[in-house]
Structure 1
Amino acid sequence: MLPLTRREFIHRSAGGGLGFLAFTGAAPSFLAQSALAQTPGPERDRTILVVIQLAGGNDGLNTVVPHTDDNYHRLRPTIGLKEDLLPINHDLALHPSCGALHELFNAGQLSIIQNVGYPNPNRSHFRSTEIWETASGSDEVKHEGWLGRFFDNTCSGAPEENADPSGVHIGDIIPQSFLAARSHSVFGMRPWGRVDKGRDPAEVAYEKLLQAQHMEGNASYLQHTMMNTLVTERRVEKVIAGYNPMVDYPRNKLSQSLKRIAALIHADMETRIYFVSQGGYDTHAGQQWKHAKLLAELSGAMGAFQKDLVAHKKDDQVLTMTFSEFGRRPSENGSQGTDHGTAAPLFVMGSQTRGGLLGSAPSLDLGHNKDLKFSTDFRSVYSCVLDRWLEADATKVLGESYEPVPFI
């Protein structure tokens, strides 16, 4: 049986790190099915989406701070923020660590969508992440991700030899957002590139496979897939190695990941979807310094990425969106942290966004350990991305119609 994920393939091979073309459906039976596909593949100069996952559950109330609301300070007597806030309007401000995002907001290149969530929220990291990545309801389970269904509806059914991947993610594990009913090429790469000059064990294993005698059936398909893997890996790394960014990216994982994505965008790859994750947002204890560090990394990375895109005249093609599986509870806990909650704001960045503040702020007239009630369904955010940015049929991808949040 062929591996279906990068993690699975690495576990079956000599060990890790090589960039990887994974196919999200069964193989090689899809080859016959793909001949029926009439939808066009991606083209250069089309719109591009970059998704940044804030894994662990970002605390929205200390990201977009309702500092004039007495209830905020009542619920957070210790971790509530009061000083050095970056004003959005009279009542709201960004965390002091979000200087670059604040500049983008003031320049009209950042939309802040307030109080985003879904009905009957789930507080499990795994389940709520699954809901966000599959765009499902809390009472249903879907296998395919919302971006995988976008691939199904807009990309050809089989990866062509030497074609650019449909989606690129940073890291070893394919995000569930990319899982699809049909087969599409999805490339995974390291955030930092190769860290040593020695031979990658996985690459050695792949080359041995390629040197084997002609194989039949699934083995032949795997051999062909690995050939494309190595070609793509070397092509991508050559592009990245030759890239000259126009800004200094901070030396952290998220920033370096976005730098590599900027290189591929600048090279006019046909890839339209990029996915990167920043972890650490599960701030149950000692939240203040941890959250400040995470938001500083996020803000600095996004700010550098956008400036680089502008300098290379690629900013009109790229939309960058954040998401997190849930927010935190309004009440602080006994460990100067916050527990799993429900709704939170998210950011949409780009030269083509309308900018500004959208959606309704959450009510904080709540008792101890009560949750926020969301006001914007996250699928309304996806609906705008799909319809107005990726030019796809949002209703077909999401399974039903949602009123788009008008940030484009």
Structure 2
Amino acid sequence: MTQRSDLLSRREVLRRASALGLVAPAATGLGLGLAAMGNAAAAGATGYKALVCVFMTGGNDAMNMVLSTDAATWQRYDSVRGGVAEIALAAPGTPAKASSTVLHERLGGALGVTAVGGEGLAFHPVMGGVRDLFNAKRMAVMANVGPMIGPLTKANYLSGVGARPAKLFSHNDQQTMWQAFGVEGSTKGWGGQFADLLMSGNQRAMFSGVSVAGNAVWLNGATVRGYQMGPAGPVRLGGTSGKVFGSTVVQQKLQAITRSAANPQLLEREHAAVMARGQDAEAVLSSGLPVNGPWGTTGQTATTDPLLQYVEPDTGKSVLNPLAYQLQAVARTIAARDTLGMTRQVFFVSMGGFDSHDNQPIAQARNMAKLAHALAYFDRTLSSMGVDQSVTTFTASDFGRTFTSNGDGTDHGWGGHHLVMGGAVRGGALYGRMPILGAADGKGGYDSPDLLPSGVILPTTSVDQYAATLGRWFGVGDAELSTILPGLNNWSASSRQLGFV
């Protein structure tokens, strides 16, 4: 990327300082410097683009989300995972047994597809929406991704040669490793740092990074701080009714008190400033969010909208899909992009329940049904809005899970498969390499270059490569990617872009 050599004008610096007031506790010299550095990137970023991270909290068993269907691989998969009665899915084409007490038998076989390159793949039986998106070439599979310092072989791992991420298999640390390339306590994520570079094109900088799932380090940059909202919309101090204890006056007084500092102490002044920015941002976003659109019913009554309902595979009941509800909020915020003056945004949504040490057949079937329904809902909504080419959605998780079964579940692993969706995605294809499955040796090992002891899958693609491919599409230059993604330079130049978008 070519960098501008001219300095920002004083007027432009002041304009950006005003915008940054909605982002950081203070418009510091560092914040202004970052805004200046991002000027060239933002100037070259035409049109609107958004990245949406769907985080599967707890560690998704990707081996039961996407599978290879060649005969040898499937035989090893079925023999290790214990047959249909435990956690192994039935082979594609297996008829459903409506009268069975085993959920996997009632669901029937996995949903087979053929990728662009000829690879045979299959999705979990409840993921019909994902299967259809893949066949429509609106979704790609990214195989065996995980945090890595650089290329690492099984032999080097076992002998202690070669760097590896700290605190593998720890939920909190690996969630942060995925989002920020550091252990728990890291403060800057790659999504937020992407936004740092491109936020100067946004009139309302506060909304450069938006979470509908609470705090997420992925959204935080050196300047950008994730704005948190609820699925029904931004959260108002004192409640959405405009009243506290039945009184509008009490709510107004509460807001006035929290945004003013009675004493000159720094902590009190900073708290008041944060509360004032939050209230101002809520007022802006509440007035800017559209109500009616292809996303369906909004607000608190949205929970009963059929568009946001998914069918529980084990009960057959239609219930609210919380992930779809979060994505509705994302769609509405994207619809407000012109009103808010936004050109680049990053969004974070999440769903839990993936820590499937036991009862995995039912728990994962529900989660896969939620995921597939929510992604299909979001794709239809964005397509109806005419912005599907401008939004790329991708999945992430703490880690994959072990290839081995512990009876009716799986344990913490490392590498796992992920999904990338959008109009700009080169879909219907498999990227990276599916792991080679091997037979157990009876001593906790496997005759496979990709399976570590206890059935942990050694990743073959790093999160850095995954993020770099998304970042390049988003408008981040190669030099900036190498700075933001610490392990990227440890991979060959030809492998830093994976080609799925």
Give the TM-score taking structure 1 as reference length: 0.83
Contact 2:413-2:456 within 8 A present in 1 as well = yes
Q: Does residue 285 of structure 2 align to residue 236 of structure 1? A: yes
1:348 is aligned, of 420, 431, 434, to 420
Q: Is the alpha carbon distance of 1:48 and 1:215 closer, same or farther for their aligned partners in structure 2, counting shifts above 3 Å? A: same
- Point out the structure with the larger helix share: 2
- Counterpart residue number, 1:171: 213
Does 2:333 correspond to 1:261?
Answer: no
Deviation at 1:384, TM superposition (A): 0.5
Gap regions ≥5 residues in structure 2: 1-20, 91-107, 149-163, 246-250, 297-306, 310-319, 445-453
Residues 192, 253 of structure 1: 8 Å contact kept: no
| Aligned residue in 1 for 2:224 | 184
Change (3 A) 1:204 1:80: farther
Output the CA distance in 1 between the equivalents of 2:457 and 2:225: 39
Deviation per CA, 1:133-190: give whole Å up to 9, x if none: 1135x8x995421123323433359x98x544220001332x121233x332421011
- 2:302 equivalent in structure 1: none
49-58 vs 369-378, which moves further:
369-378
Residue number in structure 2 paired with 1:293: 366
The equivalent of 2:484 in structure 1 is 397
Partner of residue 57 from structure 1, selected from 46, 54, 59 = 59
Tell me the distance in 1 between the aligned counterparts of 2:46 and 2:206: 10
- Percent identity of paired positions between Structure 1 and Structure 2: 26
| Residues 1:340 and 1:33: Cα distance change in structure 2 (over 3 Å) | closer
Deviates more, 1:264-273 or 1:69-78: 264-273
Task: Find the counterpart in structure 2 of residue 124 from structure 1.
Answer: 170
**Greater RCO (Cα-Cα under 8 Å, separation 6 or more):** 1
CA contact (8 A) 1:115 1:361 kept: yes
Cα distance in 2, alignment partners of residues 125 and 172 from structure 1: 17
Question: What amino acid sits opposite 1:108 in the alignment?
Answer: K
Q: Is the 8 A contact 1:48 1:390 kept in 2?
A: no
Give the letter aligned to residue 148 of structure 1.
Answer: G
Q: How does 1:72-111 map to 2 (within 5 A)?
A: 72-77=77-82, 78-82=86-90, 83-89=108-114, 91-111=120-140
1:211 and 1:218 map into 2 onto residues whose CA distance is 12
Alpha-carbon contact 2:112-2:121 (below 8 Å) kept: yes
Residues in 1 aligned to 2:389 and 2:402: alpha-carbon distance in whole angstroms: 37
1:114–1:238 Cα change, 3 Å: same
- Give the one of 457, 468, 473 matched to 1:383: 468
Deviation at 1:199, TM superposition (A): 4.0
Contact 2:261–2:268 (8 Å) recurs in 1:
no
**Counterparts of residues 30-45 of structure 1 (less than 5 Å):** 30-36=27-33, 37-38=35-36, 39-40=38-39, 45=47
For the 8 Å contact 2:147–2:177, the answer to whether it is kept is: no
SS in 2 for 1:92: strand
TM-score (norm 2): 0.68
Q: What letter matches 2:122 in structure 1?
A: A
Change (3 A) 1:243 1:331: same
Letter paired with 1:165 = F
Q: Give the deviation of 1:46 after TM superposition.
A: 2.1
Which residue is 2:294 aligned to?
245
Deviations 1:269-289 (A, max 9, x none): 415100011111001111011
After superposition, give the CA deviation of every residue in 1:317-367 in whole Å (9 maximum; x if it has no partner). Answer: 100010011111111103x11111111100100000101111111111042
Paired with 2:218 and 2:131, the residues of 1 have a C-alpha distance of 28
Structure 1's 100 and 204: CA in aligned 2 closer, same or farther, altered over 3 A? Answer: farther
Deviations 1:197-239 (A, max 9, x none): 4747999744322366696755445434433321221332344
* Aligned residues: CA RMSD: 3.0
Q: Distance in 2 between matches of 1:286 and 1:163?
A: 44
In 2, the alpha carbon distance for the partners of 1:197 and 1:112 equals 44
Contact 1:22 1:185 in 2 (8 A): no
* Deviations, residues 64-121 of structure 1 (Å, cap 9, x unaligned): 1235421101111121101332112364200011111111101110010111123436
Q: What residue is the counterpart of 1:12 in the other structure?
A: none
Larger radius of gyration: 2
- Segments of structure 1 that go 5 or more residues without pairing to the other structure are 1-20
Give the distance between the partners of 1:23 and 1:315, measured in 2 at CA: 27
Letter in 2 for 1:259: Q
> For the Cα contact (< 8 Å) 2:357–2:409, is it kept in 1?
yes
